[in-house]
Structure 1
């Protein structure tokens, strides 16, 4: 019994083998805890100022262009300069934007337009930062520990996302948005201090300066790999069609359960956290493409069910199940990306990955707000879930190489594994001489 239980517990190998991984894990949970407070406070503040689902959903539209432009550029930048420097400077910028939110909230009459400006700025800085963060993982974690690292990273985000929104709902209700934004500022200040301790992560010797040509080179590589295309396409479809968090304030009101808004935001990461805490099995999976497809379909089914029930506790359960499905799909995507992409293209491909796992939710917020204005809030939720299941099934059918992906036999995965083993052997041989 104990042996079966231990096989379900998270694989902690990356935590033991990499000091930088440990530091990034702690830094990430601190920063995300703070930003989760703002994640709840901002849409709720816009809802109070405008009483419009469309105005809340417009956050996604405002974030979309900066996320695309700076995400692609950030990917090229991550292949050309020290990734630690990118992470540090963007974290400082995010902290400054948190201060702007706090100052605006303290005004006698808070203004609406700064909220959209900050949303655009956060999208731009996140677009610059995420490729550097994502491309760093394959460098600081051994190749055979990448799935475990993905699970631990996801667990880190989910812990922050559970505690942050759940607490933020209470804080905003009883202490006001300024207090929530104050926590965000403190979180980013602590995060910056930890980023200063990261080891340098310079670019490869033959790295090129960021350019449109370099970005196009990364795009051509991605287009030539059906497995990668499948991961991008399925994530885009799932997030665009079934990501209704922007209208959660209105869903809570429709269910006469405004007290549960923080729980609604926390339910999704809670479901993902449950999967993360029992993710020991994931390190033994070889067919990660199937994880991507089945997890995304589970996400859509659960979101569809959330829109069809009027019981708040069943809604929360469905949202939690959806979060678990997204976690499973995300583990498969992250593992495929880190196992197959060459080091010299990793930053640029991470920039392209942003378009799938970040732009999808932004567009999904716009879709949810628009459909809610047309058919009602619950109709927007269940119809999106149903459309997600259909779209993911069609993509899996037209991209069979994704379903047949095997980490032990895929050519790109085998090549990357051999390269990492060679690098490790060279490092071991050079260690005595360096001493």
Structure 2
């Protein structure tokens, strides 16, 4: 009996999320600040497409939100990564974070004044995206400065799980706002919540120590200027590392082709009668990712990370496609949750590969590329979904995208097998997968 009782805690530890990084005070503050801010941002993430759909009555304009978000990411994500390699990363986070906060206040102001301009809405989304593109590379690049290498996978998992938990409860709370209040009232409330909670992130960043550039262990120095030459140097490094390049490519395939979120307002209205359904749809993927994160103890022990990444992307595409066929809200939410769990695995594995593979002097620039991929990919997916839905209907746009992502992911690794063959050199436990 004693052996059985001891085995159960060990089994639980193998599956339960690894909380050891929270023992590091600096990481704990950043984790808390980012988690609270991300919960607040979900109110804006729901409010903007709801407002756009209310103003225009079509998913095409909702899809244009993806364009407004992607173009600044493409430009400023790469530049922001270069800045993170030459400037104090704490100062970069504070400056760009203040811009992000100001853009949220502007969204609140236009909602209170009932401006009703789709163009202004797209412009403010672009400003938010610019600020996010600058902060994101620096925020991700500081992680190896906060925790030791053996905890990078656990810290990345905690970050993604917290993000997905916020993405679950934030949209649900936003859905309740639009259930009980007319958008004329609900929209200002949603934007105000985001602006208020983002101040916690600014506080956590202010408490960080200075983080100026540091030379690598081999003596290689960080670049002195964040110009085109520095960006090109980072892209050249990426081009010479096929594993990282393919990991970015397969994530783009998954997000551009299979992300269905631009279809949520139309689907909620036409298939489920509106109301809280839109909140459930926006939360569904994150529900699965959150549950996947809470049972993610095994991810840190993965050795064959490349193969697991490929399987996760294929699983994402298939689950999204099947969800597009369902006509019961609970079933759609459940299938999207399965897709979200696969996405959590994909995101953690890819981020761990990037942080372990890249030297510190390159982390900012590669995280800039990562920002373009992880934030720009879904926005291009919004455009694709909205455009296809305008021509063929939301159902066709939803199903075809998921199937195409799964098929192209398999074809990519069949032609370029380096990713599927990749094995991790750093893991927190015994061999698995």
TM-score class, shorter-chain normalisation, is: over 0.9
Kept in 1, the 8 Å contact 2:44–2:190? The answer is yes
Segment of structure 1 superposing worse, 52-61 or 202-211: 202-211
- Pick from 185, 197, 209: which aligns with 1:187? 197
| Structure 1 counterpart SS, 2:142 | helix
Partner of 1:316: 333
Partner of 2:431: none
Task: Summarize the alignment of residues 24-423 of structure 1 with structure 2, pairs less than 5 Å apart.
Answer: 24-175=30-181, 176-204=186-214, 206-207=221-222, 208-259=224-275, 260-408=277-425
Cα distance, 1:382 vs structure 2: 0.6
Partner of 2:15: 8
Segment of structure 1 superposing worse, 172-181 or 144-153: 172-181
Cα distance, 1:123 vs structure 2: 1.1
What do the CA deviations read for 1:277-321 (whole angstroms, capped 9, x no partner)?
Answer: 001111111111122111111110010001111121111111111
Give 5+ residue unaligned stretches, structure 2. 1-7, 216-220, 428-433
- TM-score normalized by the length of structure 1: 0.92
Kept in 2, the 8 Å contact 1:97–1:118? The answer is yes
Cα distance, 1:156 vs structure 2: 1.1
Kept in 2, the 8 Å contact 1:9–1:280? The answer is yes
Partner of 1:425: none
* Structure 1 runs of 4+ with >4 Å offset: none
- Quote the Cα distance in structure 2 between the aligned partners of 1:308 and 1:112: 31
Kept in 1, the 8 Å contact 2:30–2:201? The answer is no
- Quote the Cα distance in structure 2 between the aligned partners of 1:140 and 1:191: 16
- Quote the Cα distance in structure 1 between the aligned partners of 2:262 and 2:63: 6
Q: Give the number of aligned pairs.
A: 409
What do the CA deviations read for 1:246-286 (whole angstroms, capped 9, x no partner)?
Answer: 12011112313423110111111110000100011111111
- Quote the Cα distance in structure 1 between the aligned partners of 2:400 and 2:311: 19
Partner of 1:432: none
- Quote the Cα distance in structure 1 between the aligned partners of 2:112 and 2:139: 33
Cα distance, 1:108 vs structure 2: 4.1
Cα distance, 1:3 vs structure 2: 2.2
Cα distance, 1:339 vs structure 2: 0.9
Cα distance, 1:109 vs structure 2: 4.5
Segment of structure 1 superposing worse, 374-383 or 399-408: 399-408
Cα distance, 1:33 vs structure 2: 0.8
RMSD of equivalent CA atoms: 1.3
| Structure 1 counterpart SS, 2:298 | helix
- Quote the Cα distance in structure 2 between the aligned partners of 1:218 and 1:256: 47
- Quote the Cα distance in structure 1 between the aligned partners of 2:307 and 2:348: 11
- Quote the Cα distance in structure 1 between the aligned partners of 2:141 and 2:72: 20
- Quote the Cα distance in structure 2 between the aligned partners of 1:31 and 1:333: 24
- TM-score normalized by the length of structure 2: 0.92
Kept in 1, the 8 Å contact 2:104–2:128? The answer is no
